[in-house]
Amino acid sequence: MPIIKSAIERAKTNVKANERNSAQLSTMRTAVKRFEQAKTAGADNAEDLFRQASAAVDKAASKGLIKRNKAARDKSRMAARLAK
């Protein structure tokens, strides 16, 4: 455990940021999985789910949770799958 006050505060900040980032990543992954499952099942709302998943991927990339190239790759794969 840290002893210095600034280190204690930084540890608390790191915990909060970790929770926030984990939640954001989880939201993104869930959105992508929902789209994939809907497309596999042939659901009618696949296009709406694609938009939500694409937005979630963009948001994660803008927050620095995933790299921009990964975001582009994921969106490209989802778009190709939607077009099939």
The reported pLDDT for the residue numbered 76 is 98
Q: Compute the average pLDDT of residues 7-16.
A: 97
Express each pLDDT in 33-60 by its tens digit.
Answer: 999 999 999 999 999 999 999 999 999 9
pLDDT band for position 84 (50/70/90)? confident
pTM, rounded to two decimals: 0.88
Neighbour-count burial for 41-75, b at 16+ CB within 10 Å, e otherwise: eeeeebeebbebbbebbbbbbeeebbeeeebeebb
